[in-house]
Amino acid sequence: MNRCHNFNAGPAVLPVPVLERIRDEMLSLPGVGMSVLEISHRSTTFETILAAAEDRLRRLLNVPDTHHILFLQGGASLQFSMVPLNFLPRDGSADYLVTGSWSEKAVEEARKVGRVNLAGTTKAENYARIPKPAELRLDPTAAYVHFTSNNTIFGTQWHTEPEVGDVPLVCDASSDFLSRPLDIRKYALIYAGAQKNAGPAGVTIVIVRDDWLRRIPDGLPTMLDYRTHVKHRSLYNTPPVFAVYVVGLVLEYLEAQGGLAVVSAANAEKAARLYAVIDAGGFYRGTAERDSRSLMNVCFRLPTPELEQMFLQESSANGFAGLAGHRSVGGIRASLYNALPMDSVMALIDFMRDFARCHG
Ligand SMILES: *Cc1c(COP(=O)(O)O)cnc(C)c1O
């Protein structure tokens, strides 16, 4: 077996023990005689898989009983629409903190539903940092505040939640969900497409506070109304059975690692080592300001675009995948999700030192 060092931004690397388990159970789930791809979503087998995934997530993130856990489809992108459709009244206004391309897309969808107040943005600085608390212009009467906890494309991250008082807090946590412990009580709603850090593409995890559901207007399309999925426990229609199964295995793996505090310390160590190489020597240049740096997506430049092309070609020839920056910004991006082994980070660091020595 020859696996490459997978720095993809999403879909992304999964833990090898999870992939082995999928392989081992592919022809027949233990005691079932069918693969998970062939079972009914109404079977007790799947109900057990779904319930176990929910239980594990509840334990890992300490999700209180006040919050529901949903497994939906449509990606984080559908949440950009569902959040305002459910929670932005036509005559109301919502605060959006805009820290990158994904926040911009969330705003675009919210504007189709109601008024949006841009309560903080660093667009003028090409999203190189997270706004400071004093820069936020929050509206105390806003229906909610929406923010993007980790900016996958620009490589910045909120290291603590914005302070929003009593206004409901909504978060797109797609690219750092399960990378660190969170206090779920702070959130009215938090969502994440699984394919960055929690599993494969095809399922979106939503955690929503029960009492907030009372604000939802009647008359929404059934599938777009959070209450449908709460009432039917994510089984209103056929859920993405395979994706939920894999998320369950990833959660089991995270628990076996010792939980999110352990995982978060490993993530911090991986990122610290990589940023140290970027900061040493002057050949590489990090694009995010230091106190806003993401521990998940490390973005950097080389002295010239030609050197960046060469870096990408040579790294690819040496067994590294996924290091090109997002097509909208260029440069280099190394995504260091939970499942990326420290060995891959160390191999990249060696490669970067060699490359700088040859071309610096
Ligand atoms: C990838 C990503 C999205 C888009 O996710 P889809 O599941 O493709 O809709 C949204 N927000 C963030 C922060 C992301 O990283």
- Under CATH, what is the fold of the domain 259-359? Aspartate Aminotransferase, domain 1 (3.90.1150)
Q: What's the pLDDT score for residue 327?
A: 85
d(CA 46, CA 51): 8
Instruction: Respond yes or no: is residue 196 known to be catalytic.
Output: yes
Q: What's the pLDDT score for residue 329?
A: 87
Instruction: Respond yes or no: is residue 172 known to be catalytic.
Output: yes
Which residue type sits at 271?
A
Q: Where are the beta strands (DSSP E) in 13-92?
A: 67-72
The set of residues, in sequence order, having a beta carbon less than 8 Å from that of 333 and lying 6+ positions away, is: 7, 9, 153, 155, 297, 298, 299, 300, 323, 324, 325, 326
Which residues is 93 bridged to in the sheet?
Answer: 115
Tell me which residue has its CA closest to atom 3 in ligand 1: 76
Which residue type sits at 55?
D
Tokens of 161: 């939640």
Residue 229 buriedness (CB in 10 A; 0-12 / 13-18 / 19+): buried
Tokens of 218: 């009647």
Pocket test for ligand 1, best of 77, 96, 103, 176 (most atoms within 8 A of CB): 77
Tokens of 342: 């420290």
Atom number in ligand 1 closest to CA 78 = 9
Do the beta carbons of residue 204 and residue 73 sit within 8 Å? yes
Cα–Cα distance list, 334 to 12, 148, 177, 266, 289 (Å): 11, 19, 17, 16, 16
Domain boundaries, the chain: 18-257, 259-359
Interval 50-61: pLDDT, tens: 999 999 999 999
88 CA → ligand 1 middle, Å: 21
Strand, coil or helix: 170: strand
Cis ω before 89 (30° cut-off from 0): no
- Under CATH, what is the fold of the domain 18-257? Aspartate Aminotransferase; domain 2 (3.40.640)
Fold agreement (18-257, 259-359): no
Q: What angle do CA 85, 91, 97 make, to 5 degrees?
A: 65
Q: What's the pLDDT score for residue 186?
A: 98
Q: Is the CB of 77 under 6 A from ligand 1?
A: yes
Q: What's the pLDDT score for residue 281?
A: 79
Tell me which residue has its CA closest to atom 7 in ligand 1: 75
d(CA 25, CA 10): 24
Strand, coil or helix: 209: strand
106 CA → ligand 1 middle, Å: 10
Q: What's the pLDDT score for residue 328?
A: 83
Tokens of 45: 């087998």
Atom number in ligand 1 closest to CA 201 = 7
Q: What's the pLDDT score for residue 360?
A: 85
Residue closest to 87 by CA, chosen among 239, 291, 226: 226
Residue closest to 329 by CA, chosen among 178, 134, 156: 156
Instruction: Respond yes or no: is residue 350 known to be catalytic.
Output: no
Low-confidence ranges of the chain (pLDDT < 50): none
Q: Is the CB of 338 under 6 A from ligand 1?
A: no
Q: Is the CB of 10 under 6 A from ligand 1?
A: yes
